[in-house]
Amino acid sequence: MSLKSVKEAEANVQELTVTIDAATFKAATVKVYNKQKKDIAIPGFRKGKVPMQMVERMYGKGVFYEDALNDLFPAAVDEAIKESGIEAASGAYDANVVEIGDNGVEFTVKVATQPDADVGEYKGLSAEKPAAEVTDEEVNHEIDHLREQNSRLVDVDDRAAKDGDMANINFEGFVDGVAFEGGKAEDYDLVLGSGAFIPGFEEQIVGKNIGEEFDVNVTFPTEYTPELAGKEAVFKCKLNKLSFKELPEVDDEFAKDLGEYDTIAQLKEGIKKELGEAKQRNADDAFENALREQLVENVKAEIPAIIIDEAAQQNKDSFIQRFESQGISYEQYLAYTGMDEKVLDEQIRAEAEKQVKLRLALEKIAKLENIEVTDEDVNAEYDKIATTYGLDLETVKKFAPAESVKADVAVQKAMKVVVDNAKAAKKKAAPKKKAAPKAEAAEGEEKPAPKKRTTKKAAEKKAEDAE
């Protein structure tokens, strides 16, 4: 097997003419025959005992050619690419057999090569960077979350039900005096005022006492199930139990119970720091993503379609694998979302094109900046991958070749050059709106996730409830 010639087919695409000698190809056809002969049956011969020459006479001289070439093709192409010295940026495609037979094989394939990207000015880029300031409202909002997380239910026995109570009820629904399917439950916990049940239901429990039996009269909404939509119903109910949510006081004791701070002032300061760090990470990520977008827009390169096609297919395969790991097939995903597969493919390809352009830009920047990657850099990246995916180091090294990891680290360093030399512009203030309830994340901006803490009292209460 050898390379016969190389010629440029189009920009950044080389066409290789590859030959396989007669002896190698003959040996491959014999190997295919030996693999398949157990299944070959011809009148006059026992199954699996038909001579190769008889099979070729019966079905044609080239009966084993296609399978033999398929067996030899990968190694032949790999050898030809190495011999050519080209830097392949895609797998071989558009294979075309020129000659095949007793004299061997000659075929052509195309291989995309790495495009030379023009990245333009990559230093001094400018992008908006959200402020990482934390307001008192946001801190208090997280305090409220903590109080909710550490609340406890307290039984009520000396008053009637009111909004906000947890009511434990039995109920059975009737339409025209006939019980309907799914309208019955016992010991059902319902937070009054939550809107969990149809309109008018929860309001009629308010004011009732424990042990009281009563009717709840409602009309099902018109958008309800067809069997019940718009119909009047009566629910026979009994109030078994009442309880309410008791929130801890915002004091030093509360802070101590969380186990990290001695005073409420320290707790608030700690929350402010955590929110600030999370906001800073989000701001840094948003800034870097904006710079990436600019790099993609600025890059100029003649990119063979096959490179983008392969990247898109990898993205799609990964996308499908994520859903399948959760027990959802690709077909089910399309059905659930109503997404047209053609539209999804277009979206995946558009994203793949951006990824390819960004990678080309950063690889070019790494060369322009003479970025070096040390063994220590590679080992640190291996450690990072192993930690992220919970794998041992040897497994990571098995599936991530050192050269590939080295290239990835060079790209990361190139992006750092871009970020370090970029200008951060303050994010423009949004138009003032009417006061909104409590501080929420701005639209399009990821809200920092609060750290979940549990007080000792709440933990003890949960332990008691579990016993």
**230 Ramachandran zone, left/alpha/beta (phi>0; psi -120 to 50):** left
Query: Which residues neighbour 64 within 8 Å (Cβ) at sequence distance 6 or greater?
Result: 29, 32, 33, 36, 56
Query: Which residues neighbour 142 within 8 Å (Cβ) at sequence distance 6 or greater?
Result: 271, 275, 450
Inter-helix orientation angle 22-36/65-84, to 10°: 140
Band (pLDDT 50/70/90 cuts) for residue 224 is confident
Distances (CA, A) of 332 to 338, 341, 346, 347: 10, 12, 19, 19
Window from 220-229, 235-244, 300-309 with minimum mean pLDDT:
220-229
Mean pLDDT, rounded, for 32-50: 87
Mean pLDDT, rounded, for 104-115: 95
Enter the tokens of residue 272. 């402010």
Band (pLDDT 50/70/90 cuts) for residue 429 is low
Band (pLDDT 50/70/90 cuts) for residue 444 is very low
Residue 39 burial (C-beta neighbours within 10 Å; 0-12, 13-18, 19+): exposed
Band (pLDDT 50/70/90 cuts) for residue 250 is very high
Mean pLDDT, rounded, for 65-88: 94
Band (pLDDT 50/70/90 cuts) for residue 426 is confident
DSSP string covering 355-386:
HHHHHHHHHHHHHHTT----HHHHHHHHHHHH
DSSP string covering 25-88:
HHHHHHHHHHHHGGG---TTS-TT---HHHHHHHH-TTTTHHHHHHHHHHHHHHHHHHHHT--B
Mean pLDDT, rounded, for 44-48: 82
Average pLDDT of every residue of the chain: 89
**77: phi then psi, degrees, rounded to nearest 5:** -70, -45
* List of E strands, 126-282: 126-129, 152-156, 166-175, 178-191, 213-219, 232-246
Mean pLDDT, rounded, for 93-107: 95
Enter the tokens of residue 394. 């040897």
Question: Is residue 308 within 8 Å of residue 360, measured between CB atoms?
Answer: no
Distance CA 289, CA 379 (A): 26
Distance CA 158, CA 160 (A): 7
Say what the pLDDT of residue 260 is. 86
Does pLDDT of 448 surpass 60? no
2-112: which CATH architecture?
2-Layer Sandwich (3.30)
Mean pLDDT, rounded, for 367-378: 95
pLDDT digits (tens, 9 = 90+) for 155-207: 998 899 999 999 999 999 999 999 999 899 999 999 999 999 999 999 999 99
> For residues 254, 258, 263 and 269, what is the CA-based torsion angle, rounded to 10 degrees?
-120
Say what the pLDDT of residue 454 is. 55
Residue 142's nearest CA partner among 278, 284, 283, 280 is 278
Say what the pLDDT of residue 437 is. 36
Does pLDDT of 401 surpass 60? yes
Band (pLDDT 50/70/90 cuts) for residue 130 is confident
Beta-carbon neighbour count of residue 452 at 10 Å? 8
Does pLDDT of 295 surpass 90? yes
State the DSSP H helix or E strand holding residue 353, giving kind and residue range, or none if neither: helix 341-368
Question: Is residue 135 within 8 Å of residue 439, measured between CB atoms?
Answer: yes
Does pLDDT of 466 surpass 90? no
Say what the pLDDT of residue 225 is. 87
Count Cα atoms within 13 angstroms, Cβ side, for 282. Answer: 19
Say what the pLDDT of residue 467 is. 46
The full length of the chain comes to: 467
Enter the tokens of residue 313. 């297919």
Does pLDDT of 32 surpass 60? yes
Query: Which residues neighbour 39 within 8 Å (Cβ) at sequence distance 6 or greater?
Result: 47, 48
The DSSP output letter for 7 is: E
pLDDT digits (tens, 9 = 90+) for 296-338: 999 999 999 999 999 999 999 999 999 899 999 999 989 888 8
What are the residue ranges spanned by the domains of the chain?
A: 2-112, 152-246
Band (pLDDT 50/70/90 cuts) for residue 122 is very high
CATH class of the 152-246 domain in this structure: alpha beta
Question: Is residue 440 within 8 Å of residue 428, measured between CB atoms?
Answer: no
